[in-house]
Amino acid sequence: MSAVAAPASTVSFAPLLAKRFPGTVVAETRPPADVPTIAVTRAALREVALFLRDDPSTKYDLFVDLAAIDTSRLPAPQAPADGHRFQAHVLLYSTSRNAHLRVRVSVPEADAVLPTLTGVWPAANWFEREAWDLMGIRFEGHPNLQRLLTHNGFVGHPLRKDYEAAQRWLCTEEDLLQTQLAAKTDTPEDVFETMTLNFGPSHNSTHGTLRVVFRLDGERIVAAESECGYLHRCFEKMSENHTWVQVVPYTDRLNYCSPMINGFGYARAVEQLCGVTAPPRAQAVRVVLAEFSRIMDHMVCIGTNLVDLGALTNFWYGFQTREEIYGLLEACCGARLTSSYARIGGLANDVPTDFVARSRALFPQITRNIGEIDRLVTKNRIARDRMYGTGVFKRDDAVAWGFTGPCGRASGIAYDVRKDAPYDGYDQLDFDVPVSSDGDNYARYLVRMEEMRQSLRIIDQVLKSFPAGPISTDDYRVALPPKEMVYNEMEGLIYHFKVVFEGAQVPAGEIYSFVEGANGELGYTLVSDGSGLPYRIKVRPPCFPLFSAFEKIAVGGMVSDAVATLGMLNIIAGELDR
Amino acid sequence: MPARVVNVTAAPMTFMERLYLPAILKGMALTFSHFFRNLVDIRRLPTIQFPEMRRVYSERYRGRHILKTREDGSLKCVACYMCETACPADCIHIEAGEHPVLAYEKYPVKFEIDFLRCVMCGFCVDACPKDAIWMTKDYEMSYFDRESAIYGIEKLRETREDTAAGGPGYGYRPYYGESPMRKAGEFEPSGLALLPVLKKRAEAINRMPPPKAAPPAAKTA
């Protein structure tokens, strides 16, 4: 169950850091189920970050997440000893050592400023903007510290605990993005040479509400600025006044192309915090449905992207697969997209009795659809010309910008959570991780195609030895007891009442738990104060760093290449904006 | 590092692959094979001609809620507020009253579900300790104004049409003991029914309610 299983992660850096930068390391903790943590002083953050990135013994080269936490309402034992109001958790990953690390910094309220890490990891850029926007921590030296998820006319920082969720602001139209880009590019000599093109937020090929403003020299993009937040729906703020279980329907709306994975990832994170484990059958179902969701997600990604490139046929083949998989998901959870199937400690219901047969019945269809897309596209000169060598992002760039998942693997980062920090029994399964070194759209396409085949392999193995047994844990502090117990036994009814009214009893603590989402590492930072409601939930959406790098990838290419790139990065506005 | 990594880096194109024409022909061959297969055997057509044809959803489909009744016709609900508490969307509103029948103690004077807020998660069904709220397979709910989306007791109470032939039928509901949902084979292959044959579809059509206010022109087509 341990999140970080690799022996490398057990090495302690505190003495090393203390020797190198005396007085910087405040504390070091390495709880068994969580990511190891070092707490450093604010003044030394940048130096420590550089050291952690570059030193061969640490080599934390990938910036995973930045979670800002307002500790002002935390009860006494959990509240930080130094009395500072904010905490920033910088989560890092080392691609060479396969280890996660959390760097914790305390930030006082009166002077809520941190040194920026954009110079160390470019991926930090948007994460810092988000932290500024939602928590009000300023980042000194940040190149563009604007609001990211909320509107520019927004007042206050919504994730602070003293911010009333029901407040409303009058936000008027203002085209800040365009002016920003103009200020960057409007030099006297090129003002007549280049033109500005607005792309999105409602454009057929953004596949969601994203916005990019291009500065064009003919067809070539000379500068780009992207913006998100159009689909921001306060997921993290709203979670704070719902019980732990009530967050599950919210997670379905994160990556709506593969909603099941989000729910399972969330449930697993809470389970780790509670110290409960889902029974083997629930884990097996999670693996099967997560892999089917992954296939679905890749099918949608490839299908819709090819539509943008002018190949409509694949869309039908891809969506046929998706349609049949939706049928299976609906038979398990009762809804096609808004599944809310995951529960803390297991699943909502047992799967249908013919689950195995029905899952197997999907195989020929999916294999055929994959084969058809393969035959139509992979060797097709036109498709290949559109994708090969466009949107190139090589490994060094991809690591610096925090790429994970299929896009990271297409750039040569052989990191897959299912292999490198196995969960739900993935370590028992035999599958390959497709990796390419090209880093272009064609590589992203090939990686996704291969991942679908590997997913089928995984499902096949799980179905071969599909475990029997309960579907949910019998720890009734967190899970609802079965209905026969509720109806017939007093004890069951009491548990039932307590779980419904008080919510799952999640002990105080914090955790960073991550699974392999369809787009990459999907992480949840959870902080519990033991009250029955989540204290703070921070999602690490895999396509957030992907989209933040988009303006860099797009520059130098054509507008039509940018469309192909945007599709192949598979930006899902639901999880991007939360 | 992963135990097994498969390299999918693209190989350079061969001469044949460089030619446009064979690729076009190959693509057309695949498209036409689909076309002719569908033409020969229309049953394998993946397209569903909605609304004349519909998917058959499973026994746990989460659609419109119903309030179950006792044998004497009174609501099973005892207004315990558990569904209201469990609801993540705050869409259930209950007001409790004292029931004239002593054994029932409490009953809902008011029980409202705002279907514009409801996210159809089924948490209310899970939370109910009295087996009083179920869901149906009815997913076609549309309203002309917001007020009519708020269903009171009279609209939520289970009616005969809900389970009649052609009605939506029961959807998500608690299951325990030897309830039909646990019996094998009870889960009618829903959307799955891989390329469902026409016969099955005809059954599905038969099960649909007749249009309420039949538009005269549409039916003859």
From the list A327, A348, A447, the residue facing B8 with the nearest CB is A447
For A26, the enclosing helix (H) or strand (E) is: strand A25-29
Contacts of B176 in chain A (CB under 8 A): 482-484, 487
Local structure of B75: helix, strand or coil: strand
Who contacts A275 (Cβ-Cβ below 8 Å, separation ≥6)? A33, A507
What confidence score (pLDDT) does residue B215 get?
45
Which among A248, A323, A501 is the nearest to B85, CB-wise?
A: A501
Look at the block and give the residue holding tokens 């732990």.
Answer: A244
For residues A292 and A328, the answer to whether their CB atoms sit within 8 Å is yes
Contact A280, A467 (CB under 8 A): yes
Encode A329-363: b = buried (16+ Cβ within 10 Å), e = exposed: bbbbbbbbebbbbbbbbbbbbbbbebbbebbebbe
Which chain A residues are closer than 8 Å to B194 by Cβ?
Answer: 324, 361-362, 365
Residues of chain A contacting B84 with CB distance shorter than 8 Å? none
Quote the DSSP letter at residue A213. Answer: E
pLDDT at A54: 86
Residue B35, burial from CB neighbour count under 10 angstroms (0-12, 13-18, 19+): exposed
* Residue A452, Ramachandran bin (φ over 0: left; ψ between -120 and 50: alpha; else beta): alpha
Query: Hey, of A266, A365, A483, which one would you mutate to test binding to chain B, going by the most B CBs within 10 A of its CB?
Result: A483
Residue A355: closest CA among B53, B58, B67:
B58
Nearest CA in chain B to A490: B129
Write down the mean pLDDT value for chain B: 75
The structure tokens listed for B107 are: 């009953």
The span from the CA of A324 to the CA of A555, in Å, is: 39
B134, β-bridge pairs:
B66
Rounded Cα distance between A343 and A278, Å, is 9
CB A143 within 8 A of CB A119: no
Task: Quote the pLDDT of residue A191.
Answer: 59
Measured between CB atoms, which of A446, A487, A501 is closest to B10?
Answer: A446
Residue A123 · residue A63 · CB < 8 Å: yes
Q: Is A500 on the interface with B (CB under 8 A)?
A: yes
Q: Which of left, alpha, beta for A196 (phi over 0: left; psi -120 to 50: alpha)?
A: beta
Q: Give the pLDDT confidence score for residue A66 in this predicted structure.
A: 92
ipTM over cut 0.95: no
Q: ∠ CA A211-A260-A356 to the nearest 5 degrees? A: 145
What gap in Å lies between CA A177 and CA A159, rounded to an integer? 24
* B57 contacts in chain A (CB < 8 Å): 330
The DSSP 8-state label assigned to residue A412 in this structure reads: T
Number of Cβ pairs < 8 A linking chain A and chain B: 183
- Alpha-carbon distance of A351 to B60, in angstroms, equals 11
Give how far Cα B6 sits from Cα of A139, A255, A371, A384, A433, Å. Answer: 41, 27, 19, 21, 6
CB atoms B192 and A358 under 8 Å: yes
Element holding A528 (H helix, E strand): strand A520-528
- Coil, helix or strand at residue A564: helix
The model's pTM is: 0.86
User: Residue A378: how many CB atoms within 10 A of its CB?
Assistant: 15
Do A136 and A70 contact (CB within 8 A), yes or no?
no
d(CA A205, CA A560): 10
From the CA of B49, how many Å to the nearest CA of chain A? 15
pLDDT value of residue A177: 67
**Quick check: helix, strand or coil at residue A69?**
strand
What are the chain B neighbours of A341 within 8 Å (beta carbons)? none
Tell me the pLDDT band of B114, cut-offs 50, 70 and 90: very high
Given A246, A328, A449, which is nearest B192 (Cβ)?
Answer: A328
User: In which residue ranges of chain A is pLDDT below 70?
Assistant: 1-11, 174-192
Q: Are A522 and A262 within 8 A, CB to CB?
A: yes
A29, A37 in Cβ contact below 8 A? Answer: yes
C-alpha separations of A432 from A271, B2, B6 in Å:
28, 8, 6
Question: ω before B51 within 30° of 0 (cis)?
Answer: yes
Please state, in angstroms and rounded to a whole number, the distance separating the CA atoms of residues A443 and A177. Answer: 31
Residues A172 and A174: their CA atoms lie apart, in Å, by 6
Neighbours of A219 (CB within 10 A): 10
DSSP string, A305-355: HHHHTT--HHHHHHHHHHHHHHHHHHHHHS-SS----EETTEESSPPPTTH
Q: Is the Cβ pair B2, A434 closer than 8 Å?
A: no
Select the residue of A242, A380, A388 nearest B10 (Cβ to Cβ). A388
CB A400 within 8 A of CB A450: no
Buried b (16+ CB within 10 A) or exposed e, A290-305: bbbbbbbbbbbbbbbb
Side chain identity at residue B70, one-letter code = R
Cβ of residue A432 closer than 8 Å to a chain B Cβ: yes
- Which residue(s) pair with A538 in the sheet? A525
Shortest distance between the Cα of B217 and any Cα of chain A, in A, equals: 31
State the pairing for strand pair A25-29/A37-40.
antiparallel
A340 closest CB neighbour out of B23, B122, B194? B122
pLDDT reported for residue B92: 92
The residues that bridge with A578 in the sheet, in sequence order, are none
Give the single-character DSSP code of B108: E
